[in-house]
Structure 1
């Protein structure tokens, strides 16, 4: 039975979250995309649930909210707000909006077995999350590993979403009181004959691996499956999947750590050395030694919803006071460029050719939509003193190279004390080494949070950014902090003379 939604586009929840569209629907809930009216540029996912004949009670909804609040892992969504059930039974959970496509959507569009190296990578990331959940006391059982709950975010990364039926492990014996889980991916004990446990999640992992290995054709083991898989995936991965899908829990691996240990040799075998030396996309980033006066500021977020775009727009607005400035949207999935263009109704720049989207000028800043392979923006009449690149959260070809090679790399992280470890996890996942010239900023973070993160990272320059709803505002507390962060002040003059640095190779 589908949930009848009560929210609509343009409706504002709690005086703060403006609904912009419907993301998806399920049997007991609907998920909307919403913009934050207090923090411009932030987007959230709003999960709407409604009580229906007692099948999904207020206690279960509150339990999901409480469970999410207690969790802190970079591959799990962060909860931002919770509205308990009203008199009509509607409740709302506001959480991180995760950009990407679900594994189900991807496999529907690419109906073929995934390469073994990708299957192993996805398995390792899921095992990292499961180990985190199962290490709680008592362990937290996810219970609904399925393709539509796996969000592929790009750059080989994924996130686990929707904790609608997760629960803590019960100490009492017996069967689960509710038979929940997705048929074909849920462990047999979730439908009678026993109680779900961390081993139930390992069965769900096996079903996902088989789903990816068979091109979306199978999720449960059947006679002759070895023959169907042989040649599609590494032979040594087949017995791992078979053991995960054993009917009796005691015959499976004993923990997520055991599965990870079994996969590590396979991961090493699948590694392709040629990829380690793959050429980077053509993009000539000016360095500090360049004779040109142009300064390139690359703004990258460690996670969605932290205010990366808001920060990049505020940086552009501040720098426009000192010289000709260009703001560039590099993230291919972002729509901020089009939204600003529609909002401003600004005229397009003349004399610009061969660009995906015609640039325009508004409020003393030029706005561009490019990709890393397009190079830097170029005007025919004069050169830029500053170029600000909004990289979003990366995850596409060339993003990390652009960030590392820019003259002023700015990493946007969470200022919440309980999320400071996210930056450490991001550094490990991205395989980038923290450099002395990086600036790390914490939108809405306190000075104490900046000091704490700086201490954890060692030599990093960490800045807490004060709240400022309008990123285009010149007056306020945010501008001086940006100037200090970028080492750019009114005492320095920046040239607008043409420089060969912007001339593309032909």
Structure 2
């Protein structure tokens, strides 16, 4: 197990010729965490966790760190590098720096409502489900309020893999006995083998703590009378099952728990989505919105515009997806991973999903459209179609809730749009938006040819697509604003009907 440690790196110290220490973020007895600037990636900051593992644990630590650096999930911090113990016995784990506060901090401010609690715990369960499905499974073993981070961008993150481990089916006991008193499962106190059900006990303890306003800390049996008044009666049964002393009497998987929590919420509130999310009506009205960017020609900034839009939406929403659907060219995502995170391998090892500045990024080069299955998961989907001069994915553009044709008002580039506009006219498609980079040409004198467009949008010019300026925020709000009607079902309908037609399921 880890040995006690005190902070010794001073501000300004350069660790491994790359990470410049800024300040101490926190200490935990067995580890300390620093904030550091990346000297190779200007402007990038990381959290660096320092620990001193016992000599007999070094091999296992190195093995498990190699697994942790491959994990990619929206509700887990990105762990990018590991340095094994140096001559002083100190090891370093480099991970994503998350600004925000923990559940423990939040409860000190004011109690959480039932809806807020479930909105937080569901992402935690999704992260645990992902960990438990690894091969071999990763057991977190320390689910507690101080290990759940509520980031400033609205994301929920499960942090601190201090005592996480792989399940060893050949072992009957763990080398590290305890998690945190009050939140650790009975088998952890006894030093017995832990598995996914151990984490589910921790979830039960966490939710019980949250739904009692922080009063319940595991020192006595939970009773229904301890729960806040807004907690539905059936929730107590879920908590009782989670807190069962025997693992076989608990939920057997995080997915099973997620299903029950969602069902309970559906019963408790009229709709799961409306209850879970206490966002503004602006976001609720636009849940499941697809914004498609299509370039009239190459070199007009279609991908750059799509990324700017996704970056702004990620700041405003809890779930934004960018899809690189330009099938004619190599994916831009590995280049983004290299430019902003320093390693293309961060994306290549991520099962086709990469998270950057709060935006989930994925490719769709071939095969059927993934959109029908994604609309129920993401609040906003930004579809980057590139320059589709062969019209292979024109239907996707026309089905989008906000289709943006990226063109130019410059006289020498107007011809790039003419053919596409004629096609729109033939199909009586008049919902599209013409997006143009800010130019010196007078929009009023150059818009006569584009009367078929629903609107003309002036795309801001900036070098970094992920820098959310007032101009980009205003631009995105102007794009999204007009689409404030219809729920998720109506948004799904245009994709569902299309898929049925392709399969021949539509009846005449």
TM-score normalised to the size of structure 1? Answer: 0.59
Paired residue secondary structure (2:214): coil
Paired residue secondary structure (2:157): strand
In structure 1, the residue matched to 2:382 is 434
Deviation at 1:153, TM superposition (A): 1.3
Match of 1:418 among 323, 336, 349: 349
Q: Is the 8 A contact 1:122 1:157 kept in 2?
A: no
Match of 2:24 among 19, 22, 25: 22
Deviation at 1:154, TM superposition (A): 4.2
Question: d(CA) in 2 for partners of 1:45 and 1:98?
Answer: 8
Deviation at 1:160, TM superposition (A): 1.0
Matched, 1:34 2:32: no
Question: d(CA) in 2 for partners of 1:91 and 1:223?
Answer: 39
In structure 1, the residue matched to 2:72 is 72
Deviation at 1:212, TM superposition (A): 0.8
Extract unaligned runs of 5+ from structure 1.
282-287, 289-295, 302-307, 313-387, 401-409, 440-453, 462-485
In structure 2, the residue matched to 1:82 is 82
Change (3 A) 1:438 1:193: same
In structure 2, the residue matched to 1:96 is 96
Paired residue secondary structure (2:22): strand
Question: d(CA) in 2 for partners of 1:172 and 1:390?
Answer: 46
Q: Is the 8 A contact 2:47 2:95 kept in 1?
A: yes
Deviation at 1:145, TM superposition (A): 0.7
Extract unaligned runs of 5+ from structure 2.
284-292, 294-300, 321-331, 338-343, 362-373, 404-434, 445-457, 459-470, 475-508
Question: d(CA) in 1 for partners of 2:127 and 2:312?
Answer: 26
Deviation at 1:133, TM superposition (A): 1.3
Deviation at 1:298, TM superposition (A): 12
Q: Please list the CA deviations of residues 296-325 of structure 1 after superposition, one character each: whole Å capped at 9, or x if unmatched.
A: 999999xxxxxx9xxx8xxxxxxxxxxxxx
Q: Is the 8 A contact 1:21 1:33 kept in 2?
A: yes
Q: Is the 8 A contact 2:154 2:317 kept in 1?
A: no
Paired residue secondary structure (1:46): strand
Change (3 A) 1:130 1:252: same
In structure 1, the residue matched to 2:9 is 7
Question: d(CA) in 2 for partners of 1:104 and 1:212?
Answer: 9
Q: How does 1:293-372 map to 2 (within 5 A)?
A: none
- Greater mean alpha carbon deviation, residues 65-74 or residues 94-103: 65-74
TM-score normalised to the size of structure 2? Answer: 0.59
Paired residue secondary structure (2:69): helix
Q: How does 1:452-491 map to 2 (within 5 A)?
A: none
Name the Cα RMSD after superposition.
4.4
> Which structure: greater helix fraction?
2
Q: Please list the CA deviations of residues 454-499 of structure 1 after superposition, one character each: whole Å capped at 9, or x if unmatched.
A: 99xx8799xxxxxxxxxxxxxxxxxxxxxxxx9759xx645799xx
Question: d(CA) in 1 for partners of 2:443 and 2:273?
Answer: 45
Deviation at 1:413, TM superposition (A): 5.8
Paired residue secondary structure (1:261): helix
Instruction: Give aligned pairs, total.
Output: 352
Q: Is the 8 A contact 1:175 1:189 kept in 2?
A: no
Question: d(CA) in 2 for partners of 1:7 and 1:74?
Answer: 30
